[in-house]
Structure 1
């Protein structure tokens, strides 16, 4: 197995994957949950969730989280990025819509965003600082 270059890992994270975020919590194992996200190389990982959800409360308390994305068939590849939360703000329609369309396509994404964006929706941004990656196709 070989590590990815900086450019390869950022490009891989920017591809369409369901991410799994992990965030610490007191007296228990870290919370690990799947999530839709957005990322552009060099930027922040962007999540959309609801204020008051377990993941939002834990991310706010910890001030950081990890995201992992992977390819589940050979040749296996994965990227993990960890970093501090740079902002938690009320969700704007454009960001929520972009994430929904990324995963569901234009028509279904618009319908999902219209149904799911609400006054409690928030956008969480994290700046990746530490990376782990592996690309088994490089062997």
Structure 2
């Protein structure tokens, strides 16, 4: 059964690992990779990735991407959201810390942020405006 707007936005705002998909270019299947993301009700989705990454190059070329999040318990539920890129900004250490704190235990955040800021190269924050939603909770059938 499809989720209501409130249900799908609440689900997307939870810290799931997303599957990001973007057009893979001529003769290639879409690129699909796991990624951390940030979403708050009614806002844009944002992700962080390397400026030199294949993922960023494909997103830049396509101008849009899809995120899909799911869970298995207590019921099988998923939300997929697709839309255009509306902004790309250089990442800040504060954004990296905010995203890391969403996914990592508190005692791991500082160490990860210090490592990632030094070792992952230049990062960008990509903002996507949700346009199309597909969702379901298979336990509500």
- Flag whether TM exceeds 0.5 (same fold): yes
d(CA) in 2 for partners of 1:12, 1:138: 15
The residue number in structure 2 matching 1:99 is: 99
Aligned to 2:128: 126
Could you tell me how far apart the structure 1 residues matched to 2:95 and 2:12 are?
Answer: 18
Q: CA deviation at 1:65?
A: 0.1
Render the CA deviation track for 1:22-70: whole Å, top value 9, x for unaligned. Answer: 0002211000000011111111111111101011110111110000000
Q: TM-score, normalising length from structure 2?
A: 0.93
User: Superposition RMSD on alpha carbons, in Å?
Assistant: 1.2
**Which region of structure 1 is more displaced relative to structure 2, 109-118 or 90-99?**
109-118
> When the two structures are superposed, what TM-score results if normalisation uses the length of structure 1?
0.94
Q: May I ask how many residue pairs the two structures share in their alignment?
A: 138
Residues in 1 aligned to 2:106 and 2:37: alpha-carbon distance in whole angstroms? 16
Task: State how far apart, in whole Å, the 2-side matches of 1:105 and 1:72 are.
Answer: 22
Q: CA deviation at 1:115?
A: 1.1
User: Unaligned regions of 5+ residues in structure 2, if any?
Assistant: none
The 2-side partners of 1:40 and 1:74 are apart by 23
* SS state at 1:117 partner: helix
Structure 1's consecutive aligned runs of 4 or more residues displaced over 4 angstroms after TM superposition are: none
